Structure 1
Amino acid sequence: IERFAAAAHAHGVPLIVDNTFPTPINCRPFEWGADIVTHSTTKYMDGHGAAVGGAIVDSGNFDWMAHADKFPGLTTPDETYHGVTYAEKFGQGGAFITKATAQLMRDFGCIQSPQNAFLLNLGLESLHVRVPQHCKNGQAMAEFLSNHPAVRFVRYPGLPGDTCYDLAQKYLPNGSCGVVSFGFTGGRAAAEQFMKSLKIAQIATHVADARTCCLHPANATHRQMNDAELEACGIAPDMVRLSCGIESTEDLIADVEQALASL
């Protein structure tokens, strides 16, 4: 993160990091040089698929006036809001987030309803308890899958040998999340059979929920693409994304094991 932060700052722009999957429980990008952090609160922060939402967190560390020519929306008067110049009126610590909440949300909407905010706050109360269980299940699942003959590959940053393992040890020493991606030695047909055989996992495009959710992109989110097009955009036709919930680790592995036995 600090490498990208240095590159961004050398060009006079802030580094924005999406921290949805690790959550602040496992990663705090500000400590590594990021300027702004975003979250889809629909995921782990809500934790129950109850409400759609998002969050922007501004560190207040980026000096907008030092790069005024790049950010006229913050460093020149906003005639739609009484001619205020955000970077002058609210300073380095409040310019961006004030513009986001005062002017951008006024123009584009995306303001949570009180009920959605209430549901999010309920989820946040248990976030620190849920995240370790998601990580425990994700790690155990990745290790199980990596040793199964029906599985062609496994992608999980906590798995030794993964291309992101060393980075995960640095930035995510307490775990990453519950999302594991893997493919099958039997190809696309095996992935389809696997999905049909699951009993606990819910077939859904959703991720980062208290319940385990499973997705086969080739037959869902990316079904408009043929196999060649899928490969070209980095999605193997046989790839499945399993978002491990907070159920019993043993139960989840048993469900996946019986589904693999059906191949």
Structure 2
Amino acid sequence: MTDFSTLAVHGGYNANRNDNAVSVPIYASAAFDLENAARGRDLAAGEISGFEYSRVANPTVDALERRLAALEGGVGAVAVSSGMAAVSYALMCAGEGGGRIIAPTNLYGASVDALGDFLPQFGIHADFVKDINDLHEIESLIGPATRAIFAETVANPNTAITDIRPLADLAHRHGLALILDNTVPTPYLLRPIEFGADIVVHSTTKGITGHGNAIGGVIVDAGRFDWANGRFLQFTRPEQVIADIDGNRRSFSGAFGSEAFIRRIRVKYLRTFGAVQSPFNAYLQLIGLETLPQRVARQVETATAIAGHLEHTPHVVSVNYSGLPDSPYHALAGKYFPRGVGQILSFKVEGGADRVRRILDGVKLFSYVPNIGDARSLIVDPANITHREVPESYRKAAGVSDDLIRLSIGLEDAGDLMADLDRAIAGAYGE
């Protein structure tokens, strides 16, 4: 098997097919010459592979998709314009026609809003659980309309870890798909497909790009799930859009088999709703991927050191970082994350929101930014920024309170970052 670091640089791209360009070219073209009538007809019918129109596929974006599919161990991927487009498309594709999704309350704020408030307007509903690792509660919610279980591999901001293997086994016993958001760890730290996940989504804006300079998302398909098992009628219904070359309607499961999900994402969701990844953003993400292992390894090392330091810092009440020995998720961290759990951590301080504001205003190296995975270290108050649309009861259950601060650790010197936090915290308490 090719090493991860090698795939991060070379995966999904053949220079010989691109005029020997060492770096993936930016194909800034809205459409592509079909060459002749016969080839155009074959492309439109899906009988041959190639490029017609960049709303459906583009060579630069294709290289990114192939590389990410290789890094996650999937059969295919579709890159989209943002992480929330990836989450929304994946959940809608699974839940079409009145399906229900089981999910935890400690998701990213926009995901909670999508499942709890917006997707119900499209007939897709959520059954929320407090603890995604409580298999008894999850099983009690499974009904005829349940289609999938959705969770984050590492929750943001409390770094709670999903126990993937037993959750996947439970889902598959009931014919459900397991969809996981793997944004926080990136595939360098965790490949959920290896533990039974069926669909993996990312906000590639975060650690995959790694420099805070491009928005993007991706959906990766493991290619193992049976979408024709009776729960997903959208995959067995014949459709004109994928009719064969003679005009005979086909179903996605019948035409594409194990790749039915990712093909439906591209043909129905990307093509229709149009949240297209731009070639330039795809290029920036490909460049970011080349240094993903080195960046994330350094960030994990620094995040672990800072989390340990904060445990002994005056006025810090508690620290959330699953990589710490006293974390309730430490055993799961050892099971799934031999390279570490990521660059995100959070901590609570004495005195509530007023002290939090003083700390936010007091740091000099940390940037007050609602992003994660950047080369720069970032700081934010989740209750007011990233999780403000989440219902209060869900926020409290996830530990997102007014006294919580989240950090995303970058590539700066660990000692400099600790000193910056120490100064800001001391200053917030008049010391």
TM-score normalised according to structure 2 size: 0.58
Q: CA deviation at 1:37?
A: 1.0
Supply the AA of the counterpart residue of 1:30: I
Name the structure 1 match of 2:235.
74
**How do residues 202-213 of structure 1 correspond to structure 2 at under 5 angstroms?**
202-213=367-378
Is this contact kept in 1: 2:347–2:405, CA < 8 A? yes
Q: Matches of 2:338 and 2:168 in 1, distance apart? A: 20
Q: Matches of 1:224 and 1:241 in 2, distance apart? A: 17
Q: Matches of 1:240 and 1:85 in 2, distance apart? A: 48
1:49-106: CA deviations, max 9, x gaps?
Answer: 11111111111111222x1x211221221234432211111111x1111111122111
Supply the AA of the counterpart residue of 2:342: C
Name the structure 1 match of 2:251.
85
**CA spacing shift, 1:77–1:225, aligned 2, 3 Å:** closer
Q: CA deviation at 1:222?
A: 4.9
1:86-133: CA deviations, max 9, x gaps?
Answer: 1111111x1111111122111111110111111110111110110001
Supply the AA of the counterpart residue of 1:77: P
SS of residue matched to 2:348: strand
Name the structure 2 match of 1:192.
357
Supply the AA of the counterpart residue of 1:8: A
**CA spacing shift, 1:75–1:228, aligned 2, 3 Å:** closer
Q: After the TM superposition, which of the residue ranges 80-89 and 248-257 deviates more from structure 2?
A: 80-89
Q: Matches of 2:188 and 2:388 in 1, distance apart? A: 34
**CA spacing shift, 1:96–1:129, aligned 2, 3 Å:** same
Name the structure 2 match of 1:60.
223
Q: CA deviation at 1:226?
A: 11
Aligned equivalent of 1:12, options 175, 196, 202: 175
**CA spacing shift, 1:32–1:218, aligned 2, 3 Å:** closer
Aligned equivalent of 1:119, options 268, 284, 287: 284
> Would you say 1:35 and 2:198 are equivalent positions?
yes
- In structure 2, stretches of 5+ residues that fail to align are 1-163, 244-248
**CA spacing shift, 1:101–1:134, aligned 2, 3 Å:** same
1:184-217: CA deviations, max 9, x gaps?
Answer: 0232222111111100000011111111111012
Is this contact kept in 1: 2:242–2:251, CA < 8 A? no
Name the structure 2 match of 1:149.
314
> In percent, how many aligned pairs have the same letter?
41
Q: Matches of 2:404 and 2:346 in 1, distance apart? A: 7
Is this contact kept in 1: 2:184–2:373, CA < 8 A? yes
**How do residues 41-52 of structure 1 correspond to structure 2 at under 5 angstroms?**
41-52=204-215
SS of residue matched to 1:168: helix
Q: Matches of 1:192 and 1:228 in 2, distance apart? A: 23
Q: After the TM superposition, which of the residue ranges 193-202 and 94-103 deviates more from structure 2?
A: 94-103
Q: CA deviation at 1:224?
A: 7.7
Aligned equivalent of 2:273, options 76, 93, 108: 108
SS of residue matched to 1:90: helix
SS of residue matched to 2:375: coil
Q: Matches of 1:55 and 1:34 in 2, distance apart? A: 15
Q: CA deviation at 1:225?
A: 8.9
- Structure number with higher helix proportion: 1
SS of residue matched to 2:177: coil
Name the structure 2 match of 1:97.
262
Is this contact kept in 2: 1:154–1:181, CA < 8 A? yes
Q: How many residues in Structure 1 have an aligned counterpart in Structure 2? A: 260
Q: Matches of 2:222 and 2:393 in 1, distance apart? A: 42
Is this contact kept in 1: 2:374–2:408, CA < 8 A? yes
TM-score normalised according to structure 1 size: 0.93
Q: Matches of 2:339 and 2:353 in 1, distance apart? A: 34
- In structure 1, stretches of 5+ residues that fail to align are none
Is this contact kept in 2: 1:81–1:103, CA < 8 A? no
Q: After the TM superposition, which of the residue ranges 182-191 and 130-139 deviates more from structure 2?
A: 182-191
Q: Matches of 1:228 and 1:17 in 2, distance apart? A: 23
Aligned alpha-carbon RMSD (Å): 2.0
Supply the AA of the counterpart residue of 1:70: R
**CA spacing shift, 1:229–1:37, aligned 2, 3 Å:** closer
Name the structure 1 match of 2:343.
178
Q: Matches of 1:141 and 1:211 in 2, distance apart? A: 15
Name the structure 2 match of 1:164.
329
